[in-house]
Amino acid sequence: MSNPISQKSLKKLAKLSIHTGLGLEKGQDLIISAPIEALPLVRLVTKEAYKAGAGLVSCFYGDDQMSLLRYKYANDASFDKAPDWLFEGMARAFDNNAARLAIIGDNPMLLAKQDPQKISRVNKAMSKAGTPVRERITAFNVNWNIIAYPSKDWAKLVFPKESEKKAVKKLAKAIFAASRADQKDPIKAWVEHNKILANKSRWLNEQNFASLHFTAKGTDLIVGLADGHEWAGGAAKAKNGITCNANIPSEEVFTTPHAKKVDGYVSSTKPLSHAGTLIDDIKVTFKNGKIIEASASKGEEVLLKLLDTDEGARRIGEVALVPHSSPISKSGILFYNTLFDENASCHIALGQCYSKCFIDGDKISKEEVEAQGGNTSAIHVDWMIGSGEMDIDGITQSGERVPVFRQGEWA
């Protein structure tokens, strides 16, 4: 086989990203970030963007090797540095209505052998420097989208028994399937898919639950929902008026929990790859919304440092429901990448909430978000808690219980 990645599907993914993922409007600039290996996809996306009338397309490439060189050779002082000037510049571009596309595909285990102390310092510096961008993205100021490219190191981690080429072929196929880019008309497939997610959101919004009660082996957790929370899923309108599908793939409906009303314990059901480190078997206990105990069988030091990022890092900013029978879950593939694994499982996110997951979310102020229970933090890290054993009850404002999930499926 010459190229293990179907060029036909790759082209469809590029087109899907521009039209459905971003809904790119004529004249909009586009800022892409991508691993250097994703160059072929960047070029396809660039072509589709210009065909759709883009103003200027810019791409910033990340290079895993360059990251490793830093850990290997840099002075200690380097590990507290981050390109704040770049994030500030990007924020300015978003204020001028540039759209944002992130192509992911980095090696989820890149930093496995590096000093967790240094990793945590880098993560903290990046979180802090990234604030101007993160604020604008989580507030949906502009249309944004994330898609994936099947990089070699990532593929070898997901399919360790295969040759590199075979592994890339399999990962490419899995990405295209999960993204619906292998379908005859992916854009139409997403219109249908968005309808289903919108129906689920509508039902949950009608219920207006006060809280959700998650139970499974290792989990007994009450997640209070923010006052005036709103469920979302699939297509969403950004504040610039453009409807986008931020995550491709996406199988979730999600909303904002109340940062001070989460109690109980919860266990992760899939490993979490965070910035090149694998964190596995997470167990945490919440009291009044705050994590008061946390452990992990792998990557515990990075997890604990992550929780120490700031006040909001020990509280959650997102809760999301995904049935155990989601296509990604059914594929049986563990991607070691949150964009995929979070869409195979119910999940929660440490840190920053999405202000759009409130009624009138496009007009709500930072102060109102906080007053209604929305969390604020320099991090937003999803991790997977769902499984085929999970039951979820919705508890209404009057205290009644409504079955939401039974044995991992919509009740």
Among 9, 46, 120, 143, binds a second copy (CB under 8 A): 46
38 touches a second copy by CB under 8 A: no
- Report the distance separating Cα 300 and Cα 18, nearest Å: 38
DSSP designation for 229: B
When asked if residue 165 is in the footprint of a second copy (CB under 8 A), the reply is no
Site for a second copy in 94-123 (CB under 8 A): 96
Closest distance to a second copy from the beta carbon of 67 (Å) = 10
Whether residue 150 is preceded by a cis peptide bond, meaning omega within 30 degrees of 0, is no
Q: Cβ distance 139 to 239 under 8 Å?
A: yes
Shortest reach from residue 58's CB to a second copy, in Å: 5
Q: Is 14 in the site for a second copy (CB under 8 A)?
A: no
Q: Does 161 bind a second copy (CB under 8 A)?
A: no
Q: Is residue 36 close enough to count as binding a second copy by CB under 8 A?
A: yes
Q: Give the C-alpha separation, 144 to 102, whole Å.
A: 8
Among 2, 65, 365, 398, binds a second copy (CB under 8 A): 65
Work out whether 131 is an interface residue with a second copy (CB under 8 A): no
Number of residues that bind a second copy (CB under 8 A): 42
Token output for 59 = 């791409």
In this chain, which of 50, 109, 165, 327 binds a second copy, going by CB under 8 A? 50
- The DSSP letter of residue 5 is S
| Distance, CA of 106 to CA of 114 (rounded, Å) | 16
Residue ranges of E strands in 96-218: 99-104, 144-148, 211-216
Element (H, E) at 165: helix 164-178
- Considering the complex, what minimum distance in angstroms separates the CB of residue 47 from a second copy? 5
Select 39 or 294, whichever has its Cβ closest to a second copy. 39
Closest approach, Cβ 69 to a second copy, in A, equals 5
Do residues 100 and 59 touch, judged by C-beta distance below 8 A? no
Q: How distant, in Å, are the alpha carbons of 139, 154, 357 from that of 343?
A: 21, 18, 18
Shortest spacing between CB 28 and a second copy, in angstroms: 11
CA distance 242 to 99: 10
Distance CA 268, CA 101 (A): 28
Does position 85 bind a second copy by CB under 8 A? yes
In the complex with a second copy, the residue whose CB is nearer, 38 or 404, is 38
Instruction: Indicate the residue among 129 and 226 with the shorter CB distance to a second copy.
Output: 129
Whole-number Å distance between alpha carbons of 353 and 235: 18
241 interacts with a second copy by CB under 8 A: no
Residues that bind a second copy (CB under 8 A): 26-27, 29, 36, 39, 42-43, 46-47, 50-51, 53-61, 63, 65-66, 69-70, 72-75, 77-78, 81-83, 85-86, 88-90, 92-93, 96
